[in-house]
Structure formats: C-alpha cells, structure tokens
C-alpha cells in the first residue's frame, strides 16, 4: 500500500480541518509538506483561520462554506486537480475531497467525524483510491513503521513542531480533559510531570 509520504512532488495536498481555532495537526502537516516540497490547498469552514494557516505556510486556503471548492482547486492546479488528498474528517466533505483529487490519485483519511464517508462513483471510476489510517490501527506494515519513524525523527530535528496549547500538571488531569474538549483552544493540551 502506497504511503502519502511518497506522493510525487510537487504535491497539491487538499487538507480538511476541524472546528477548532486552528486545526490541531495543521501546523505539522503543512511543515511536513514544505519539507517534502509539496504545495498545499487547505480547506476550512471559517474565514477567521485562513490567515493563520497562511502564516503557517499554507499555499492556498479555501472556505468550503462560501467557495466552490472543486472549481477553486481546478483554478489553482490548472485543471489537473491534486495528486493526493488528506482528509481528517472522513464525513460528508470526503465527496468533495475525492472530487478534487486527480485520476489515479489517493485520498488518505485519518480520524472520522462520522461513520460514513461518501465518495462518488464517478471518482471511483476515475480510480481515485481511498486509504484509511487511525491511531488505533496496528502498524503491521513495514512501510507504515518507516513513515512513523521518519515523522518522529523530523520532530526530533525540529522540522515538524507540534502546535502546543496549555500545559497542566498531572494532578490537574480533569481540567486538562475539559480544556482538550473546548473548541478554539489553539493547540494540543499537554499533561506534564
């Protein structure tokens, strides 16, 4: 199974984001894309995060609630669409993400907002491949293990820097859990100690 880390470069990665102030993994994905020489097209639901993503290095940011996403991706890519797409929501927007992916391209999903991700038959006929990865999956494939090792190495070198929010001592774990569930918190909640 191909890994999204090995897509051709330059890559147009379509990345969808959550309802948080800044998507919690956006910084890491954008940093990795820049390191690999990929260009990114980022999908958001609110205009207030557009500039924040641009400041992180996002090449393009499209608001899915106010813009025609497929038309904008076609404009940005000269009609070629994205080599591959990363979809963190795996829900109703997955249909649009797949439609923005070129023939024989990959849609790499992780996480799941809903239990059903809808992909059009038209996109399946175009041989758009859908792949899924969740943290709870066993990393049995050698390539998956190598991907994880590469990401850990890039974090250790400071190439990928997680977006960190508030830190809590272990004794305040209940407050940390409440903070982690708060929308617009702006970063990962850490337990220290």
Domain regions of the chain by residue span = 8-161, 163-193
- Under the banding of pLDDT at 50, 70 and 90, the label for residue 24 is low
- Under the banding of pLDDT at 50, 70 and 90, the label for residue 37 is confident
Q: What is the model's pLDDT at position 15?
A: 58
| 32: nearest Cα among 73, 61, 3, 72 | 3
Indicate if the pLDDT at residue 140 is higher than 70: no
Q: What is the model's pLDDT at position 43?
A: 87
Q: Give CA torsion, residues 88, 57, 186, 5, to 10 deg.
A: 30
43: part of which helix (H) or strand (E)?
Answer: strand 39-44
Q: What is the model's pLDDT at position 1?
A: 37
20: part of which helix (H) or strand (E)?
Answer: none
**What would the mean pLDDT of 26-54 be, rounded to a whole number?**
84
Q: What is the model's pLDDT at position 51?
A: 85
Residues in a beta bridge with 85: 14, 107
Query: What's the CA gap between 12 and 101, in Å, rounded?
Result: 9
Beta strands in 72-141 (DSSP E): 82-87, 101-110, 129-133
Query: What's the CA gap between 57 and 53, in Å, rounded?
Result: 7
- Under the banding of pLDDT at 50, 70 and 90, the label for residue 20 is very low
Q: What is the model's pLDDT at position 139?
A: 52
- Under the banding of pLDDT at 50, 70 and 90, the label for residue 111 is low
Q: What is the model's pLDDT at position 47?
A: 86
Decide: 98 and 128 in contact? Cβ < 8 Å.
yes
Query: What's the CA gap between 121 and 99, in Å, rounded?
Result: 10
Domain 8-161 falls under CATH 3.40.50.740: no
Q: What is the model's pLDDT at position 4?
A: 52
Indicate if the pLDDT at residue 25 is higher than 50: yes
């Amino acid at each position: 199974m191909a890994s999204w880390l090995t897509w051709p470069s330059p890559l147009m990665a379509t990345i969808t984001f959550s309802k948080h102030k800044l998507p919690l993994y956006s910084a890491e994905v954008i940093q990795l894309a820049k390191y690999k020489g990929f260009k990114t097209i980022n999908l958001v639901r609110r205009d207030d995060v557009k500039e924040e993503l641009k400041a992180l290095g996002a090449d393009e940011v499209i608001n899915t609630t106010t813009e025609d996403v497929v038309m904008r991706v076609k404009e940005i890519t000269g009609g070629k669409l994205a080599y591959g797409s990363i979809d963190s929501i795996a829900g109703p927007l997955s249909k649009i993400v797949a439609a923005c992916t070129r023939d024989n391209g990959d849609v790499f999903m992780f996480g799941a907002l809903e239990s059903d991700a809808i992909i059009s038959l038209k996109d399946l006929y175009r041989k758009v491949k859908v792949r899924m990865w969740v943290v709870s999956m066993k990393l049995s494939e050698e390539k998956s293990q190598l991907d994880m090792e590469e990401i850990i190495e890039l974090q250790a070198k400071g190439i990928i820097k997680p977006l960190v929010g508030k830190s809590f001592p272990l004794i305040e774990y209940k407050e940390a859990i409440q903070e982690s569930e708060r929308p617009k918190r702006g970063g990962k909640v850490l337990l220290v100690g």
